[in-house]
Structure 1
Amino acid sequence: TPLLVLGYVFYLLLGAMVFQLLEKQAEIHFWDQFQLEKLKFLQNYTCLDRQALEQFVKVLMEAWEKGVNPEGNSTNPSNWDFSNSFFFAGTVVTTIGYGNLSPSTVAGQIFCVFYALFGVPLNLAFLNQLGKGLNAHLITLERWVQKPGRAQVVQTLAVAIFLTTGTLLFLVFPPLVFSYVEGWSYGEGFYFTFITLSTIGFGDYVVGTNPNKHYIPVYRSLTAIWIIFGLAWLALVFNV
């Protein structure tokens, strides 16, 4: 146990040092660039002063924190239509919580607390049952390949096919879809896929949020279903 504690603390310290090394200079660069853009804006629009600009930036930040994308206009699709609400409900019960959208009303916040209180255990029970169902098919497959006359290599091959199929369906192909629909690179799509299925959910990449793109109504609902089945498959993989 002491060795595990030391290893855990060391891993956290290592992560902190590497992230600081990789990200701090980029943050400073973006900050300087942002300040330069604000200065240019004030120079181009002399009718504004710095205080007015800072107030406008504050309004933009508050809008973003409430889930309103400052880009576009009033024709932007609602964050709370049924498809987006279904997607949000999925991120609550799976504990992904991207952070780009959250209830802004007191009633919505209270409901979210109780919804998560019952939804998270329900989701765990559902994933457990779904995993058992997938595991039952895997056991059936193993029994089939274990019949006399079938070599051990066939059994290994069958399990490998099962794992490969799941990897393609949940980790390899989805980034291609997200890249096509969202305009991301494949690397960005894979990053979103991993961050989502690992339930980290930073919120820096979220599907269906670009106001300049027209999404099919069920796009985010289908993504939520992919997340649920992907989590069940991953749970099964870790138990194989």
Structure 2
Amino acid sequence: MTPEGPGWRRMLALFVLVMVYLCVGAAIFSHIEGDPEIERRLQLEAFLRNFLGNHSCVQHEDLISVLREVDQEFTFALNTLRNTTVYTQWDFIGAFSFVVTVVTTIGYGNLAPKTYSGKVALAVYALLGIPITLIMLNYLGQLLTRLSTRVNKCKLCSAKPLVNKLLNMVLIVALGLTMLFILPALAFSYIEDWTVLEALYYCFVTLSTIGFGDYIAAMSENRLGHRGAGDLYRIVTYVWILFGLAYLSLLINYISNVFIKKAEEMERLTKEKLEAEVSRLQQELSKTGKSVYKTAANVKSSVKGKMWEAPSGNGIEQETGNVTLLRISQLSES
């Protein structure tokens, strides 16, 4: 019985492919982001030196202490400087947004437990919540698959089945991208005051569970930041995340299956070519062996069938073709 699943050779090949892909990605982003980062840091360095030069009353160590404290609660520090009301991010809606990012493994990083009891509770909560959420997303993905199957049965072009299948696939992808990317991106662009490109970037980073946290929707700083509409906006946003995760995981699984099928097909074709080549070589060797055996048998029978008669003499050498025989006869007594 052959073991199921990929073998070590396929796993090693896949590991090498992933490592090469990661190295290529690292080289690309290092080239794109490296110089702009150095430029930003040089500008920040010039700004800080200029600030200290223009504000000689501010001590260097005091500024370091201020920046260290601000780094812990940057948003709150901005609100404090703006004389806004002190509020907590850990109200029910804020905590709801936090647990959604936990169980979906998005993890923006903008909100994290600071107490030891909160960190322990997070570990226990995530161990239970992540599997349950994955099961729910799996079921939701199956429902979306059924819906896409029904759409795939539409006869937009009944005369040509291949064209009809292609049109149905385009319709499914277009509907998904429109409902879960384009329309939400337009809404985020208006409410969060982002560009459309930034909103699309946020949609992909969120639904792919990458979750950098550089752009976060449904926070307090937006056009619906007040109570009521802002809370409803947060809930709708995280419901969108759940449906979007199911759709994007379905799309990623489809792309993965296409790659797997292509790899298996290439492996099968390569195996068939090798087997055909080995079979051809075996046939050639068999033919060659039979020919050699037949030639040897003909030579052997030819040698055995020949009779050579020696003329008078004690030792006479006689040649017939390429075969030389030496026959020694005894002299008869007179």
Highest relative contact order (Cα 8 Å, sep 6+), 1 or 2? Answer: 1
More moved, 214-223 vs 19-28: 214-223
Aligned to 1:41: 51
1:68-113 C-alpha deviation (Å, 9 max, x unpaired): 4321224265322222221111110110101111011222211111
Q: Summarize the alignment of residues 10-159 of structure 1 with structure 2, pairs less than 5 Å apart.
A: 10-64=20-74, 68-73=75-80, 74-75=84-85, 77-142=87-152, 145=155, 152=161, 153-159=163-169
Q: Tell me how far 1:44 sits from its aligned partner.
A: 2.7
1:98-145 C-alpha deviation (Å, 9 max, x unpaired): 111101122221111111101110011001111112222333444565
Letter in 2 for 1:69: F
For 1:128 and 1:224, how far apart are their aligned partners in 2? 17
Q: Tell me how far 1:238 sits from its aligned partner.
A: 4.0
Structure 1 residues 177 and 143, CA gap change in structure 2 (3 angstroms): closer
Which one has a bigger Cα radius of gyration? 2
Identity of aligned residues (%): 35
In the superposition, the TM-score normalised over structure 2's length comes to 0.64
Aligned to 1:217: 231
SS of corresponding position for 2:211: coil
In the superposition, the TM-score normalised over structure 1's length comes to 0.88
For 2:223 and 2:65, how far apart are their aligned partners in 1? 29
1:16-66 C-alpha deviation (Å, 9 max, x unpaired): 1111111121111111211222222222322211111111111111224xx
SS of corresponding position for 1:70: helix
Structure 2: gaps spanning 5 or more residues: 1-9, 255-334
For 2:86 and 2:160, how far apart are their aligned partners in 1? 59
SS of corresponding position for 1:190: helix
Cα RMSD, aligned residues only: 2.3
Letter in 2 for 1:115: Y
1:170 aligns with 2:184: no
Letter in 2 for 1:111: A
Q: Tell me how far 1:230 sits from its aligned partner.
A: 0.5
Structure 1: gaps spanning 5 or more residues: none
For 1:138 and 1:212, how far apart are their aligned partners in 2? 35
Q: Tell me how far 1:172 sits from its aligned partner.
A: 1.3
